[in-house]
Amino acid sequence: MDIWQALVAELTSINWGAWVRVVALLAIGFLLASLAARSLSGFLRSRSSRHVTAMFRRLAFYAVFVIFIIAALREAGFDPTVLLGAAGILTVAIGFASQTSASNMISGLFLLMEKPFEIGNFIEVDGTIGEVIGIDMLSVKLRTVDNLYVRIPNETLIKTRVINRSRFPIRRLDLTIGIAYREDVRRVETLLLELAKNNSFCLEEPRPFVQMTAFGPSSVDLQFSYWVPAERVLEGRSEMMEAIKTTFDRESIEIPFPHTSVYAGSQSAPFQIELVNGKGTSD
């Protein structure tokens, strides 16, 4: 009975009105923060990049929500200055304990300021190629062409060579083609440029070109370069290679390949060769 009376006394001593106001402030703050973030996102969507829009959307949400959190703490009877002091001490302790996370956060700030890529760009990092689907304070999220989710820490992006494959609207494709030494290089060049002219993905400007790059062991090596829209790189490469093979077969232009000769030394027995024809066999 004494326990029950103590529990009732404890519950009646709680200022329930204040806690109801705290919950109401947090709920209203969350709704207003979400509304502010969506409104700012809609305003910036047609005026800036997706990267900037996502960054300011997060900033607007947290700025509004933090204000209501401070108001809720005051309503609950907490002194925000004491909490801020404790948070500062806690931040220092966490900073010493998690230097890697702090490094990623600082690297994330540099990425936000430098903007080497944006959401929607295709980038290559350490051999990983994918579309940027998220840029956060600690890491960047990629979706690869085979639909894998890859998380790369910001510190890695600062220290590593990053290739942005969709920063510019057009890309140049370079195909290395080997032809036999007996072929007419000028004729092959004319055929390749004609293929570029008739290809739906190739751009007229900048102009495609063909140049000789090397005398290989079994071929004359040519570089065939042409420009395509950045979003048509895969189709532009595959379709052109197929057209080159078809044209070379039709025009009887040889694409040589390495040959291997097998030699038996003087101490080895000769290879047995057998010719088979319709009339019989002979050694």
Whether residue 282 is predicted with pLDDT greater than 50 in this model: the reply is: no
Amino acid at 187: R
Question: Domains plus CATH for the chain?
Answer: 13-97 (no CATH), 116-164 (2.30.30.60), 170-250 (3.30.70.100)
Compute the average pLDDT of residues 124-134.
89
Compute the average pLDDT of residues 101-128.
82
Rounded percentage of the chain residues whose pLDDT exceeds 90: 31
Three-class DSSP category at 127: coil
CA distance 216 to 178: 8
Using the structure block, give the residue that is written with the tokens 């290879």.
271
Whether residue 209 is predicted with pLDDT greater than 70 in this model: the reply is: yes
Query: What is residue 228's predicted lDDT score, i.e. its pLDDT?
Result: 94
Whether residue 266 is predicted with pLDDT greater than 80 in this model: the reply is: no
Whether residue 173 is predicted with pLDDT greater than 90 in this model: the reply is: yes
Query: What is residue 283's predicted lDDT score, i.e. its pLDDT?
Result: 46
Rounded percentage of the chain residues whose pLDDT exceeds 70: 73
**DSSP string for 5-41:** HHHHHHHHHS-HHHHHHHHHHHHHHHHHHHHHHHHHH
CA distance 256 to 183: 11
pLDDT grade for 80, boundaries at 50, 70 and 90: low
Query: What is residue 34's predicted lDDT score, i.e. its pLDDT?
Result: 86
Query: What is residue 86's predicted lDDT score, i.e. its pLDDT?
Result: 57
Query: What is residue 216's predicted lDDT score, i.e. its pLDDT?
Result: 86
Whether residue 270 is predicted with pLDDT greater than 80 in this model: the reply is: no
Q: Is 36 left (phi over 0), alpha (psi -120 to 50) or beta?
A: alpha
Q: Tens of pLDDT along 181-194?
A: 999 999 999 999 99
Q: In terms of Cα–Cα distance, which of 203, 111, 113 is closest to 156? A: 111
Q: 0.75 exceeded by the pTM?
A: no
What letter would DSSP give residue 120?
T
Compute the average pLDDT of residues 51-55.
69
